[in-house]
Amino acid sequence: MKDMNKLNDEVLENVSGGMLTQDEALERAMTHAGLTKGQVDFVKRVELDWERGRKVYEITFYQGGFEYEYDVDAEDGSILKFDKDWD
């Protein structure tokens, strides 16, 4: 019974609102790129990962022949890394 009452950190943060959702992280990346959701051709991935002790969304999307890659801090929404390449 003890294990049934345990919640992992990720579940607790989502319940308490301490972390951005995937949609919020994607919106931050698109805004940084100067794009709206309607302008993006294709979203390849939005994945939660750990990097250097922090939770980070790794995001890849395409628009007008360009590939955009972002790392967005899952807690404060800051842009940690970005790249734009002709695809």
Tens digit of each residue's pLDDT (9 = 90 or more) over 1-28: 444 434 444 444 444 458 999 999 999 9
Please give the distance of CA 11 from its chain centroid, rounded to a whole number: 17
Buried b (16+ CB within 10 A) or exposed e, 1-13: eeeeeeeeeeeeb
Instruction: Provide the edge-to-edge strand list for the sheet that holds 54-63.
Output: 42-51, 54-63, 66-73, 79-86
| Mean pLDDT across 76-82 | 97
- β pairing state of 54-63 and 79-86: unpaired
% pLDDT > 70, the chain: 80
pLDDT of residue 18: 80
pLDDT of residue 7: 40
What CATH number corresponds to the domain at position 69? 3.10.450.40
| Mean pLDDT across 41-52 | 95
pLDDT of residue 17: 59
Domains of the chain: total: 1
Domain that residue 63 falls in: 3-86
